[in-house]
């Protein structure tokens, strides 16, 4: 079993979307939320969960940046997010 630590804000920003809590604006091309749109309207937490799914997809596809120092990351943790698209 594995787990990654993500922050929705970091994922939003790394994809060039504004960091507005619970916002999916700017992520429409990456997230197809058609079937769950009514649920997403219910709470900011549900929208953040959708962004966390995007972060998981970034990790699985190898787009998330690894820690610079694995030893420190193993102690303190690491927020997985893709690199800046302008880099």
What contacts 63, CB < 8 A, 6 or more positions away?
82, 83
Is position 84 within any domain?
no
Is position 81 within any domain?
no
Domain count, the chain: 1
What is the rounded CA–CA span in Å between residue 32 and residue 68? 32
User: How far are the Cα atoms of 19, 27, 35, 81 from residue 5, in angstroms, in the given order?
Assistant: 18, 20, 26, 9
Is position 42 within any domain?
yes
- Please spell the DSSP secondary structure of 17-48, one letter per residue: ----TT--TT-TTT---GGGHHHHTT-HHHHH
> Nearest CA to 28 among 60, 18, 79, 81?
18
Is position 50 within any domain?
yes
Range of the domain at 29: 8-76
Along the 87 residues of the chain, how does pLDDT read in single tens digits?
578 888 999 999 999 898 887 889 999 999 999 999 999 999 999 999 999 999 999 999 989 888 889 899 888 888 888 875 444
Is position 87 within any domain?
no
Is position 3 within any domain?
no
């Amino acid at each position: 079993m594995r787990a990654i630590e993500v922050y929705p804000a970091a994922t939003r920003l790394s994809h060039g979307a504004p960091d507005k809590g619970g916002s999916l604006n700017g992520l429409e091309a990456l997230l197809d939320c058609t079937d769950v749109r009514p649920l997403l309207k219910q709470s900011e937490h549900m929208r953040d969960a959708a962004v966390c799914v995007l972060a998981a997809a970034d990790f699985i596809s190898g787009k998330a940046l690894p820690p610079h120092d694995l030893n420190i990351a193993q102690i303190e943790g690491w927020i997985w997010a893709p690199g800046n698209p302008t880099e």
